[in-house]
Structure 1
Amino acid sequence: MNDSGTLRDRVHEEQRKSLVVLSGAGVSAESDLATFRDNGGLWANYSVYEVATPEAFHANPKLVLDFYNFRRDEVRKAIPNAAHCAIAEAEQYFDVTVVTQNVDDLHERAGSSKVLHVHGLITQARSSVSGELIDLGNENITLGDLCPHGAQLRPHVVWFGEAINHFEEAEALVRNADIVLVVGTSLSVYPFASLADCPRADADCFLITQDIDTVPYGYDYRQGPATVEIPKLLSELR
């Protein structure tokens, strides 16, 4: 490529608007991944205190590992849907960062290059003493799988009572975004939900979900499935 072409591309990159996507379980639900809170969701057969707290892992690690091994297998079988793909394709036109509550890797598999998993990533394990991360590939976690420090591996998932990941980075991204798109979340889980209150006054803000009690101030609400509404909205924004 000649120098003028390189400069033109660089200017184009610098002029692209920043788009931050805050994504929740409703996006992955359309890839047939069960959510926690809906009727028949993952909590239907389990109490959070049995499978989603540090105390539960200490009391019955096998039950907790089996629960997340099942979920991990479901994630591996799932396929990115039209919403994931549209968000990834938006990188052609915007500087896109995805901040997701979801612990699956469907955004990455669809092609998104910048994804922050504030609640962890189920395809990774972490040391229960050092926090060191290990990619699991096609493997699961069983009792006796140890980190280099000799401690039992656990799922890299934020449990109730634990601090979420990357929150300050996510907050800064939303505050500086030109466009904020909240999708597939009821905004009922904090502190993630508070990110929807962070956009600057002149940002363009959109909310896409099937149902929500209160639409945050300043948001253009599009009711409907993410697989329909996200491609439509991103086409409008282009």
Structure 2
Amino acid sequence: MNIVGNLEAVGNFLTSGAFSTINISSSTYAANYPLGPAAEIEMPAIDFNSASSSSFKNLAVNVYTANQFEDLLSDNEDVVLGQGITYVVGNTRISEVNNLTVPGALVIEGDLLINEDEVNINITHSAGQPSGLLATNKIDFDGDVGNIDIQGIIYAANLVNINNLDNSGTFNVLGGIVGRKVTIEGVSRTVNIIHDNQILVDVLKATEFSPVILVDHWEEEY
């Protein structure tokens, strides 16, 4: 794994496994490291579905139920979503599609599971607009997924799990990862996470911090 910027955890940062390697371009802050833990901050809040005109649901260019969205994927080998925010209500699995292009943000009201062989996901960012994968609960990448290239953030109000990925694809995030707990386990490919504060600002709000990942507890195992 390669991280451009700081890695900051308010708890411990743990790695295990003979082939576990992490490269951090700047500093590591954790309870079990010499610099000590990172200062606690509140997890950046996102207005997913309030009545406000600025909530993600009300700003969405398309709103689907989980069944409608999964049918869209299963009926097409290559899917390009509309420019802007696509909002899906219900636990959602991305499968039965070869290539999914998201010119903006894919927002899930519930859990998001990505575990289909050879599913390629490409998310692009436009200045001033939100982009990435976001979920009100958890996001799971699990199994032999294809190429994952995200200009945006991976945001889960609860858990982000990146597990059991083979070494045949890419996993690149330009922006950051935000979650209550982030676990990376059994990953054979290189994971690149590059901090981009402007993308964070476009999705969240102006931030004073500059770490790539803010987590309470981090476990990495190969």
Same fold (TM over 0.5): no
TM-score for both structures, normalised by structure 1: 0.24
Higher helix proportion: 1
The structure with the largest alpha-carbon Rg is 1
Higher strand proportion: 2
Q: Quick one: higher RCO (CA 8 Å, sep 6+), 1 or 2?
A: 1
